[in-house]
Amino acid sequence: MEATFPETAATFVGPNLKPRILVPASASDAARFEFYQKVIEEAGGVFEEERVNIVGIRGVKVDSEKGSGIELSQTASAGEFAAYKAAEKKQKASGPKPQHFSGRAEQGGGEKGTGRWDDVVVSLWLERDGDGNVVKHNVKERIGSVDPAGDNTKWGTAHVRDGQYLYKRGHHNTKQKKPHGKAVKKKFAKSETVKVRQSAGNRKKTHYQYDALVLARNVEVWRDKGRGEETPNNDHYPSEVDDARSQENVRAGDDTFKGRKLIATNVHASPEELPSSEGCQVVRLDQDYEEFIAEIDAQNQAESRGHERSVLYTLIDASKIDALAVVTTKDLGE
């Protein structure tokens, strides 16, 4: 399954461009569950109540210090992007390009600088008793990044298009001497859930691999200046040329824009300083990544009977979330 639903992917950002609270800290687990379920379904995605569903939302702040619970609010970055785009059409754009689609806090590639960490990766599923009654609404919000911080200098950096994609359990590879490799080795040295080992077939022992989610079906991406073009500028800003080229290549089935053979947009862990990604979806290391993997493993153990089961991952920009799906104090009966 790969689906970049027309109504979701038609534009890079949606109509809701002003900062706002999406989920107040006072929202119950049931209300939070209903909100994220609506986000997935109203984007055109499939929702499986009693299986783990994962949704990545771009352009949000996760605040865990708001009284009794976690507050999720939309940032100003989508509005900044839209304003720059509008000025660009009038040839009046000036200053640095907005980094709404970047995991780094400023322009410039490599593993230097700081991360934006303005996205969230949410896991949710229902638990029922033997009579089919709901006993728990499981909702876990984790700070992450759904946009690249690093660059691909060969084909142009990949950015996953909003939509729903199928993932499964697998492994992510990282260089041992890079900050990413050092961080996961230290973090999971004694973990019984996330195993860090030498990458298979890596005779020179330069790479680690560890437990993550990998694509089970095709994914669709847009790129910062793709194959056959001039040297990628990797500014993490979707120009009209980038968008048109990417859509054309997706329709043509170019395997650097649609597929999983040459695109490895895994869901994995990342050091806290900067998202370690050239297009992957990442969960920050301090956000209970072991528990994230354990949730998937528990589902597989209960259902698979020896076969890996898939996980649905939905990606959407916060500005595209319909206002009707937003949890308000009225919804909570206050």
**Is residue 258 within a helix (H) or strand (E), and if so which, with residue range?**
strand 258-259
CA distance 10 to 134: 37
What is the residue whose two structure tokens read 């949606």? 14
b/e sequence 276-289, b meaning 16+ C-beta within 10 Å: bbbbbbbbbbebeb
Structure confidence at residue 277 (pLDDT): 92
Which pTM value belongs to this model? 0.91
Per-residue pLDDT of the chain (334 residues; tens, 9 = 90+): 455 555 555 689 999 999 999 999 888 899 999 999 999 999 999 999 889 999 999 999 999 866 567 899 999 999 999 999 999 999 999 999 999 999 987 655 444 556 789 999 999 999 998 898 999 999 999 999 999 998 888 888 999 999 999 999 999 999 999 999 999 999 999 999 999 998 877 666 789 999 999 999 999 999 987 555 666 788 899 988 899 989 999 999 999 999 998 899 999 999 988 889 999 999 999 999 999 999 999 887 777 554 567 899 999 999 999 754 454 444 444 4
Structure confidence at residue 2 (pLDDT): 53
Name which of 27, 293, 33, 298 is nearest 184 in CA terms: 293
pLDDT in tens, 61-120: 999 866 567 899 999 999 999 999 999 999 999 999 999 999 987 655 444 556 789 999
What is the residue whose two structure tokens read 């920009």? 317
Structure tokens belonging to residue 259: 């597929």
List of residues 6+ apart from 21 with CB closer than 8 A: 71, 72, 73, 74, 326
CA distance 184 to 171: 13
Question: Long-range contact list for 188-195, CB < 8 A, 24+ apart?
Answer: 188/290, 191/290, 193/290, 193/293, 193/294, 193/297, 194/269, 194/289, 194/290, 194/293
Strands 158-160 and 258-259: unpaired
Structure confidence at residue 11 (pLDDT): 81
What is the residue whose two structure tokens read 């956000």? 287
Structure confidence at residue 305 (pLDDT): 53
What is the residue whose two structure tokens read 């859930």? 193
**155 touches 226 (CB < 8 A):** yes
HSE (side-chain half, CA atoms, 13 Å) at 114: 4
CA distance 169 to 209: 13
Name which of 275, 35, 43, 304 is nearest 179 in CA terms: 275
Q: Could you please report the per-residue DSSP string of 146-209?
A: SS-SS--TTT--EEEPSEEEEEEEEEEEEETTSHHHHHHHHHTTT-SSS-EEEPTT-TT--EEE
Structure confidence at residue 198 (pLDDT): 87
List of residues 6+ apart from 42 with CB closer than 8 A: 321, 322, 324, 325
Q: Where are the domains of the chain?
A: 2-325
Structure confidence at residue 332 (pLDDT): 41
**Surface-to-core class of residue 294, CB atoms within 10 Å of its CB (0-12 exposed, 13-18 middle, 19+ buried):** middle
CA distance 325 to 39: 7
Strands 53-58 and 311-317: parallel
Structure confidence at residue 76 (pLDDT): 96
